[in-house]
Structure 1
Amino acid sequence: MKKKVFVFLPDGIGLRNFAFTQFKEKGEQKGFDIVYWNNTVFSLQEELNYQEVKIENNKLHPLTSVFTRARKRIELNLFDRKYKETVYNTYNFPQSYQGFNSGFKSILVDLLVFFGSNERGLQWVRDQIKKFERKNSKYEYCKLQLEQHQPDFVFCTNQRSSQAIAPLLAAQDLGIPTATFIFSWDNLPKATTLVETDFYFVWSAHMKNEILHYCPYAKAQNVFVTGTPQFESHFDKSLIKKRTLFFEENNLDANKKYICYSGDDIVTSPLDQYYLEDLAQSVIELNQQGYNLGILYRKCTVDFTSRYDAVLEKYKDVIAVVNPIWRPVGSNWNEIMPTKDDFAMQANVCEHSEFVANIASSMVFDFVAHDKSCLFFDYEQPQLQKGIRDIGQNYKYIHFRSMPSKEAALWCTDKSELTTIIKNILDGNLSSVSEGKKWFETILGKEPTQASAAIWAAIHEIVG
């Protein structure tokens, strides 16, 4: 008899990895009955004809958001204290005290953090979150769904959603084994693991060490190294279009060589548009020296600001916009849904660009999969002032310590050097590909094309 697996989507983050890849197909080949337990506004039944059970109840206990915010801050305090660091608390975002409700919640968070920043306090906060969510109407709602459909396994597609807590508790209380996937390379040192499952699926041995480091309640024998489906498309040659076709479809100049600039969100890089402008100025300078260059700008999917507009208009002769093929199906950042077509788009952007430039983005891994370098900007803009975040903070984060060497990326630490650096990359005198591949292997493991199969193999090992 086929084992039934609920692929649980607490929000839209998991769609890209687990609905728009070969993940479902690989599972069916292994003999699993796959049902998407869908907490998103995206309908997999209507859009993809996938079996789904919709979760219509999105209630949280009124105190859950307060306690989950406090949990993250407490964990980061403990990390700083335990590892004699100050960097962990830089992962925190400032709280809002404007308005009665917002201010009251932030004060409660502050009190919990003040009195609870110790091991006993953290354990109490974790226990309270579970108590709150077991009293929440969503818990009973999901328990009834599980009793009706009787899955053999629940696989949660990301670990950071508070919407996942009640459904996973309901499954565990019914004796159904649960697992969660750690969805991003920087998530574990950021204390974003809100759900506690029976098993954990991670990208690499490096990430397994991290989860045992930061989540002591996770047992080594229950952590599976699988890779991530996120990068499989880069190795799928059927997705790569001929250069002439890709350029024609996206109104690009076939006579130009393009440098990709991948935009960042406003939190990571609040002055991002000015780095794009610096790149445009260097491209113009090099074109005056006989090069024929353009910039291919790919925006950040969750950036809804107009901050780039003036730069894009001013330099429209050298900057071409090739937007991600995502679409909003709600009003929140995690309701901006990917499409299957964007896998091909991103792979072709990497394949047909000379290299990528950005601020601290994981696009370094996408491009090195295509044997292309990544240039990180690491200098301040003159527009930097008090209250604006300096991008240099990004490179001090714990996840950047995974670099095998500084040469795993290229660095521009002074605007005056940018044109020369670009020239050396284009002329073949400067590359980060060799060391970048080592970094790629550290983060993604040795078999990046086998992630979907490895996840199903692990699920088979668990449920038989």
Structure 2
Amino acid sequence: MQKNKIFILLPDGIGLRNFAYTSFHKTGVQNFFDIIYWNNTPFDISELGYDEIKINYAKSHPLTDIYKRAKTQIELNLNAKRANDPIYNGYRFKFKKNSTRHFLKYCFVKTLILLYNSEKGLKKIRTKIGKLERKTKLYHDSLQTLKKEKPDLIFSTNQRVMLGVAPILAAQDLGIPTATFIFSWDNLPKASKIIEADYYFVWSQFMKEQLRYYYPHINENQIIVTGTTQFEPHFDVSIFQTKETFFLENQLDIAKKYICFSGDDVTTSPNDPVYLEDTAKAILKLNQNGHNLSIVFRRCPVDFSSRFDTVLEKYKSVITPISPKWINIDESWNTILPTKEDLELQVNTILHTEFVINLGSSMVFDYVSHNKTCCYINYDVSNSVLPNWSVKKIYKYIHFRSMPNKEVVHWINSPDEIYNCIDTIITNNSFQEIENAKKWFKKINQHPPEKASERIWNAIAKIINKNE
């Protein structure tokens, strides 16, 4: 039987967790696909026993970043106008203007925005990006690789990395079908899509409607609902540890119940150390009143800062940090990579903690996969690290509007509410919140969640059959 050859394009390390460490590869092999990872990460995929072709010295065209930035700003302009909603301005990042080079780049971007601030203008920018990337060494190297290997389909593991553009263009110019995966639940309102593929794999019908709304040039038959592989490990009992093993490995007290405090990155939640300290204070009071509780602190995997050190030392009697097992290969932000060991660590952290406290992350879905609840922090602090930052802005973002109702989580609206929130969850069940969170999860991600890899490979097979 002739196997179809599929290239899994890893333009950066963000796709490793979903498409190298889950059951995705195994499922593809079982369905008789010949899978090759087209690898632009510093991670050696062959260590996992998988076939790979390295992408070496990948660089986009020097002007592509300028056009991409203009494209993002124009899309946000049009989204804000279309929806009559200023929240889209909250997705903008400030331009650096602290050097001549940065200032000139800023001026170039602003000029492009003035010239192309329309749907027709966006089309011209997309065309220009394609022309620029076809001039790169990466494009021509990709052509050579594809002509030699003759894959039946290229699947990009995310839609937002510039280094994925040239390989996708090369495939399209050779008549090879291309698909890309929308990586995260909040990506589309942010105007983060840079790759123009033949097909788009999305988490849900809800995300499909979003994609059509934000990118009207994409046809409905180009969008395929598959779900995301990122939740599959929660249903893989082969990686579950016993409580005794997990507690021993992470130096936890078997007599205690643990609550997970899940940290965000410094941009999303600059005041996380204050929230962690407030939680620790509540735990100390709860223990004085008969509970036996502690905190497992899991920081954001890309946060290697020292901002939590003071709190961790001060409250070491009730906080145990269990650091994510990510690696930073050459000390730069774009080479911070997930590991398979961390995927298993995260699953078992969830399995052996009572619930999670955080500020608005998708961990709510990870925990409800185990029938556990989540608390969302919902208050500002005095002397904020970022003076103009507010939690109110976070929950106004578009992806939170998908909530079926506000009772999908427990809301912590002040430091004083942490005590009662924890006490309520530990003492009673959170049946209503869990059931509502399950409804939210079903809206956000195609169910059953453990079948995402299977749905993706079925979709790939259908695309190949259609193009034969």
Is the contact made by 2:270 and 2:385 (CA closer than 8 Å) also made in structure 1? no
> Is residue 19 from structure 1 mapped to residue 20 from structure 2 by the alignment?
yes
Identify if the C-alpha distance between structure 1 residues 386 and 319 changes in structure 2 by more than 3 Å, giving closer, same or farther.
Answer: closer
Separation in 1, partners of 2:78, 2:332: 30
In structure 1, the partner of 2:11 is: 10
What is the CA-CA distance between 1:429 and the residue it aligns to? Answer: 5.4
Q: Which amino acid aligns with 2:441?
A: F
Note the alpha carbon deviations across 1:106-157, whole angstroms, 9 max, x for none. 2212222233222222222111111111112211111111111111100000
Distance 2:331 2:97 in 1: 23
Look up the match of 2:440: 439
CA RMSD of aligned residues (A): 1.2
Task: Note the alpha carbon deviations across 1:86-108, whole angstroms, 9 max, x for none.
Answer: 11120111111111222221221
Determine if contact 2:271/2:385 at 8 Å carries over to the other structure. Answer: no
TM-score (ref. length: structure 2): 0.97
Please tell me the residue identity of whatever aligns with 2:461: H
Distance 2:106 2:43 in 1: 32
CA contact (8 A) 1:203 1:227 kept: yes
Distance 1:111 1:375 in 2: 44
Amino acid across the alignment from 2:29: E
Structure 1 residue 330 displacement after superposition: 3.3
- 2:389 is matched with 389
Tell me the distance in 1 between the aligned counterparts of 2:429 and 2:58: 54
- Percentage of identical aligned residues: 48
Deviation at 1:430, TM superposition (A): 4.5
Please list, as runs of the form range in 1=range in 2, the aligned pairs for 1:102-117 lying within 5 A after superposition.
Answer: 102-117=102-117
Question: In the alignment, is the contact (CA less than 8 A) between 1:268 and 1:391 conserved in 2?
Answer: no
Distance 2:31 2:430 in 1: 45
Q: Is this contact kept in 1: 2:88–2:189, CA < 8 A?
A: yes
Structure 1 contact 204–225 (Cα < 8 Å) conserved: yes
One-letter code of the match for 2:25?
K
Secondary structure of the structure 2 residue equivalent to 1:371 = coil
Counterpart code for 1:330: D
1:212 aligned residue: 212
Alignment of 1:92-103 (within 5 A): 92-103=92-103
Mapped partners of 1:383, 1:115: distance in 2: 41
Pairwise CA distance, 1:388: 4.3
Is the CA contact (8 Å cut-off) linking 1:9 and 1:36 kept in structure 2? yes
CA distance in 1, matches of 2:120, 2:224: 28
Partner of 2:321: 321
Unaligned runs of 5+ in 1: none
1:386 CA displacement: 6.3
Structure 2 partner of 1:171: 171
SS at match of 1:135: coil
The 5 A counterparts of 1:81-230 are 81-230=81-230
Cα shift readout 1:23-72 (whole Å, capped 9, x = no counterpart): 11111111111111111111112x21211111103111111011111111
* Structure 2: unaligned runs, 5 residues or longer: none
Could you tell me how far apart the structure 1 residues matched to 2:385 and 2:457 are? 49
The DSSP-based 3-state class of the residue aligned with 1:120 is helix
Q: How many residues are matched? A: 463
Match of 2:427 in 1: 427
Larger mean CA deviation between 22-31 and 104-113 belongs to 104-113
Deviations along 1:297-338, one digit per CA (max 9) or x if unpaired, are 001011121111110011000000111111112333342211
CA contact (8 A) 1:355 1:374 kept: yes
Q: TM-score, normalised on structure 1?
A: 0.98
Aligned match of 1:79: 79
In the alignment, the residues of structure 2 paired with residue 184 and residue 309 of structure 1 have an alpha-carbon distance, to the nearest angstrom, of 30
Query: 3-state SS of the aligned residue for 2:86?
Result: coil
